[in-house]
Structure formats: C-alpha cells, structure tokens
Structure 1
C-alpha cells in the first residue's frame, strides 16, 4: 500500500503536476487519422486540456479551444460550435501509423523510436481507440499484469482460430495446436521476470508445462504509458493509455501485422459494433452492467460480458473507481511489473523536477535507433526458453514483407 499523497502524485496529470510533467515530455496520441473526416476542426481532450486539431500554416496543429467552466471532460462539440482561444498554446503534431501524435511539452520533442508499429507500411497497421472512465494509471497497470489473462479473460470453450481474426487470445500458442485460451486456463500462475530496458520494461511470463516445455509470453511496458503485446503469431498490439483528465482516459491501439496486410474494414467494423461515435465510448458500460449475462458466465466466459476482452478490462479498471485507492492495496508476486513500473515513474518524476531530462527513457538522439520490441508467444524447451523465444521472433521478422529486422 502507499500513502494518499503518493497516490495523488503518480495519478494526477493536469498542467503543473509531477506525473503530468513526465507525460508532456513524450509524443501523445491525440486523435485517429479517421477523425479528420468529422470536420475541419476536430475537438481533442488531452492531459486536462481542451484542444482542437486544425490545419495551420505548418500543417496539422493542436490549438486551445474555449470551453465552458462546467463542460464535461468527454464533451466533443460539433465542428461549427468550436471557438479557438487566441491566447492559448498551440502544439505541434506528427502523423504516424494512423494516429496523430501531439507534443505538449516545452522545448524540442523527443525523436520517435523505430518501433514495429512506426516502421510498418500503412497497409500493415490499423489504429483504433476506446474511452474508459478511469484514471490512466490503472488502465496501464492491467496491461502489465501477465497473470490477469488467465482469470479475467478465461474462456471456458475454445473456438476455431480460423474464425478469430482480429481477436486477442483466440489463436494457437506458438507453433503448437494448443489454443491460447486453453493454455491460459490450464496454466494460470506464470513465473514473471521483469527487465529494465532502454524503452521501459520487458516482461516475460513463463507458464511451465509438462514434458520439459514452457510457454514464453513476452510483453513490454513502453514508457511512459504504452504497452506492446502479442495479439497472435502474426500481429502485435501497441497500446497507449492516454489521459483525458484525472478520471478518464483513452486506450489508443495500433495493430501491426508481420504477415499479410491488415483487413482494416473488418477490424473497424468489429470495433464499431462495440463503440459509438464521435467519442468512441463503449456501448457496454457501468450504466448497463456491461451487458452481464449469468448464463454466459456459467458456460462460456469468466465475466459473462461477451468475447471482447476490452470489455473485461474496462469492467476491471472502472470497477476500482475513477482513481484507484492504492492506500488499501496489497501487491503480491504476480504484481512485480507493476511495482517496477511505479518505481520507474517515481524516478522519472524526480528527474523532471530536477531538470534532468537525460534520465528519461527514449529522450535522446539514440532513441531513433531503438527497434522492436520483441513481443510474442512461443513454446520452448524449458532449459533453453530464452533462445527459443528470440528464434521465434527472428523467424517471424525474416518472413515479413516489410523491413522488420532488429
């Protein structure tokens, strides 16, 4: 458990806060490129600021918009109702992987690393987002907990992977015929290893099986608030947890394919069945009990909330309250990545307060050379799981139609 003072310090992100100052030192996903179709002025709510995406003299930029004092943080006015504050700050943007990133910090923005989602051609990436009614930190922390998938995302039946395009945990594990859903269900207590890297944290979950074999799942925390995880053998997910304000955030995801071009129409249709426009709020939410079905819970899923794992995560993180009360928590062995991340965040908040930006991950010229990261599932001989995991990743990259070498 931690003090209320420390909980406030690591969760609050408004201008002038320690955590907000760290987040403002990085490019933040502000909008989907798809949102440009909504009008010439696209409202954006980001890091406690009310902004608008517009075409400026140097290209797209984020200007400050006038908002009423009682405007809800998730209010998105129509384009013709937006008023721009001429005295407010204007922020630069960059378009990458179907997303428009903005830099809200002072000084020059850091370089983009050569992550797979930024190196892949447009044909092999698809971006989407969804609104969660909770603080950004608890949204991130569920993504760096490898053990939760065996419980929260427990499926009691295993569907044919051929029918599961665009769905996480519905593939087969590694090169075996074991469905991921079965593997997660039968081996629920992974050994978890965490290594600090030049981009954040590498998280390895080892599910030791029979006959001297281990399932190796490598995921990553990309500082300050992103994760990179395997979706299937051919696809990874890079997902940011972007604060709207202290009590609301977006998950913003880029799906990256190492194999065939992404079927964007199918993936967009799948996700728009679960979300409304223009705010990308989920149709399943606390106001309708996330469509909880006790009959489904008895026979098909752990939560009884459908097959979309985003809904499971949403229920879990929103159920903690808008800002999780960490003064009463008791972290255990499976929370090792969460513990390591909080320590890293606290170090970086201290560094920014002391003016030492060189301490921040990916905040120097060398960041552009960072590639990957490795993020995959593999079945390996227990005695040689590290080499087998790397070999599986290299084999996928070698067959990739775009340059995915590391």
Structure 2
C-alpha cells in the first residue's frame, strides 16, 4: 500500500518539489509549432507550475520567459512583438528571447537601468512539430535518436490535448495493457480499411482480424515487463489458440512518455506534461514508416474533439463525456463514443485531480505500473542528491537510444519472442527514411542484421 508521502513525492512537480527537480532535468513539450503560426506568435504557457510566455521574434528565434514583467508585474502575454523582442504593453519595457531587458523607454535617455534587468528565461528548440523547453539548470541533455525525432517532417504529425488531472495518472493509462479490453471495447467491428488515423480500429499485423475483436474476445492478457536502456518494455500476449497468439509490444519512455503501435504503419510517441499538479497536456508525435502522413486528415479528425486555442476536449466532465446509456448497452463498453481519448480522459479525470493511491488495490495486471513507480521514486532521489538521473543523455549516449521497437500483430504461439522483432525490423527496412534497427534487437536476431 502506498503512503500519502510517497504519492505526494511522485505527483508534485513545482520548482521546489523533488519530482519537479527531476522533471526540470529533461526537455519538456511547451507548445505545438502550430500554436505560434499566424500574425501574432505569442502564447501564454503554464509548465511545471510556472507561468511563462512563449513567443517567436522577428528573426524567427523562440523565447520562453517569465510571464509577469520584471518592472511591475504586468502580463507579457499581451505584449507587442517589436524591435527584436517582446514589449510590455504597460510601460514599454522590451525583453529579448534570452530575457534580457533591452529598453526602458519611460526612463531618462542616459539610464542604464535595463542592463541589470533580466526576465527568467528558458531555452527552446523546435523538433518534430513541437517546441521543447528546458527549465533546468546547466547544460540541457541531448535528445535521444528515437524514431519520431529521426523521421523526416513529411512522416510525422504532432498534436496535443488537455487533461484535467495530475500527470502521473494520465501517464499510467498508457502503461496498462489490460484496460484496453474493457475501456476501449466495441461490441461490433468496423471495416478496417477505414481505420486511418484511428487507434485500435485497424487489423493486427499478419492477419485480417480487427483489433477491436481481439481486445473484446481475449481480455486476460499475459503481461511481461522488461527493463530497457530507455525505460520499460511491455509485452501483452493474448493467446487465440494453440497456434496463434496476439502480441502487442509497447514502451515506457522515461521520464513521462510512452511509445505504442497505432497501426501496422504508424507509432505514437506520447508525453504527459505537467501544467501544474492538477492539469496536464498529452503531446503526441505520430510517426509513419510507409507513406507521408496525411497531416490535414489527422488534424481535422482530432479537431472534431479538441477545441482551439487550448486543445480542450468538447466531451468532458461538464457534459458527462457524452455518456449515452443506450450506447453503453448496445455499442461500446463506456457509452462515451468511439474516440478512445475520451475514454482515457474519463478514466483518469474520474479518479480526482490527484489520484489518492493510498486507497488502491493493485493486481498482477498492474505490474508495469508498479515497476514504473519504483523507477520514478529511485530517479527522484537521484536528482535530489545531485546525481544525473536515468535518461539524462550526453550526445554519445543519445545516439544509442533508438527505436524503440513496437508491434501489434498475430504471430505463432511458439516463437512469438522473435516474431515480433522480425515484424518490427521488416517495417524499418521498408521505410522510405533511414529508420534505425535498435542494437538490442539486431543482437537478438542476427540473421536480420544484414538484410
């Protein structure tokens, strides 16, 4: 049973909290690149409990600075983009992307006041459709060379969504393989050829069996959890008969991400980023190993559910997530429509703003959650003691973090252990971009190394 102290340790991410210190040692998604398109590229951002403002200056550089002006605290989110920075609308003080005050126009002409004034500022980089910020001290870590960062822009698509609860319970849904057989259960199967852009709606690799049928009919998976150099690998096995087993391979990417198969052609790499202790955003990069991503279709599909500018779900607690008792009786397990994001959102928001883990009763199906929490607490302690935590990467180590491999398909009941790797490698070999075969996979199936 978890203590309240342990729960607080893992869920609180403010500047003075131990988990907050850990999270500040990694690049964090701060906004989608799309959010700074248009004539006025300025957006307020709340990240890890800090109120900030993100902007793109006239030279195309990004700045992320404290939201309240160092002069008298006015809101810089209403500032003017001009003269190489963001100018406060109250007295005209001007700040550049590094937070340095450039002008204090109401002061005497020979005033040196601005030279000693600097707004708190954090570095920002653009990667795979997301603007990433580093809120920690010292040199930031290198990005791992995982698929969503290696693939060309044409083969990735980024999106986000707001969830009204703590980041940890939102993440833990993604490392819980058994819930999909219930929370995401559909009583009828659709034509899998119309499944583009939808999760759990296509056919599993190596078959024409819809994923919805597999989840519905085989609801007691055997779950294996392995430690990896990036976090955890989860393998969920659903035996169909003596000859065939459905294999689903997903990954926990430390500290707060996961990598899962979306279809035979795509993976989803998703992070659960604390806004504050009671809100988070999921940021996802969809990566294609075949044709370029149809970004307009993917975006339009998601904007049917999420409203701009804050990417909040149209289905939420205020309207019971669209719950329909007739639908629950006849079509879906939840009665909340066909979008699995809504199902997940209901599940985690219904736990409360911060789940009370002192009251839960975990079972064997929760083994990945147990292992992840142990890893998280261990790394929080490392960061608190001044030691570099897991996945704080230097450039050389970052190059070795590749993949990670994912798979969703039906293979042999005897021999599934190498089958899933062969499927993943074949997909990589056939990709139009240089999708690396992770070394640990190449070592285990050497006969594919030179294929």
Question: TM-score per shorter chain, which class?
Answer: over 0.9
2:27 is matched with 27
Structure 1 length-normalised TM? 0.94
After superposition, give the CA deviation of every residue in 1:330-358 in whole Å (9 maximum; x if it has no partner).
1110100000000000110111111110x
Deviates more, 1:365-374 or 1:129-138: 365-374
2:391 is matched with 361
Asked if the contact 1:207–1:216 (Cα under 8 Å) also holds between the matched residues in 2, the reply is yes
Q: Secondary structure at the match of 1:109?
A: coil
Aligned residues: 398
Structure 1: tracts of 5 or more residues without a match: 68-74
Structure 2 length-normalised TM? 0.85
Asked if the contact 2:67–2:77 (Cα under 8 Å) also holds between the matched residues in 1, the reply is no
Q: How far apart are residue 295 of structure 1 and its match?
A: 1.5
Matches within 5 A, 1:283-298: 283-298=314-329
Q: How far apart are residue 393 of structure 1 and its match?
A: 0.3
1:198 aligns with 2:229: yes
Asked if the contact 1:65–1:82 (Cα under 8 Å) also holds between the matched residues in 2, the reply is no
1:141 aligns with 2:168: no
Q: How far apart are residue 218 of structure 1 and its match?
A: 0.5
Return closer, same or farther for 1:79/1:309 CA change in 2, 3 Å cut-off.
Answer: farther
Return closer, same or farther for 1:14/1:172 CA change in 2, 3 Å cut-off.
Answer: same
Q: How far apart are residue 213 of structure 1 and its match?
A: 1.7
Return closer, same or farther for 1:82/1:338 CA change in 2, 3 Å cut-off.
Answer: farther
Return closer, same or farther for 1:10/1:82 CA change in 2, 3 Å cut-off.
Answer: farther
Q: Secondary structure at the match of 1:402?
A: coil
Q: How far apart are residue 53 of structure 1 and its match?
A: 1.3
1:60 aligns with 2:62: yes
Return closer, same or farther for 1:78/1:211 CA change in 2, 3 Å cut-off.
Answer: farther
Return closer, same or farther for 1:82/1:46 CA change in 2, 3 Å cut-off.
Answer: farther
Higher relative contact order (CA 8 A, sep 6+): 1
Choose which of 138, 155, 162 in structure 2 pairs with 1:124: 155
Q: How far apart are residue 208 of structure 1 and its match?
A: 1.3
1:47 is matched with 48
After superposition, give the CA deviation of every residue in 1:40-99 in whole Å (9 maximum; x if it has no partner).
3221111101111123689212111119xxxxxxx9966669957864421111111100
Asked if the contact 2:22–2:384 (Cα under 8 Å) also holds between the matched residues in 1, the reply is no
Q: Aligned partners of 2:419, 2:78: CA distance in 1, in Å?
A: 52
Asked if the contact 1:135–1:323 (Cα under 8 Å) also holds between the matched residues in 2, the reply is yes
1:102 aligns with 2:133: yes
1:254 aligns with 2:285: yes
Structure 2: tracts of 5 or more residues without a match: 70-74, 81-85, 89-94, 100-116, 438-451
Q: Secondary structure at the match of 1:141?
A: helix
Q: How far apart are residue 196 of structure 1 and its match?
A: 1.0
Q: Secondary structure at the match of 1:13?
A: coil
Deviates more, 1:227-236 or 1:363-372: 363-372
1:91 is matched with 122
Choose which of 225, 232, 239 in structure 1 pairs with 2:270: 239
1:333 aligns with 2:364: yes
Asked if the contact 2:25–2:392 (Cα under 8 Å) also holds between the matched residues in 1, the reply is no
Choose which of 236, 243, 248 in structure 2 pairs with 1:217: 248
1:391 aligns with 2:392: no
Q: Secondary structure at the match of 1:383?
A: coil
Deviates more, 1:232-241 or 1:49-58: 49-58
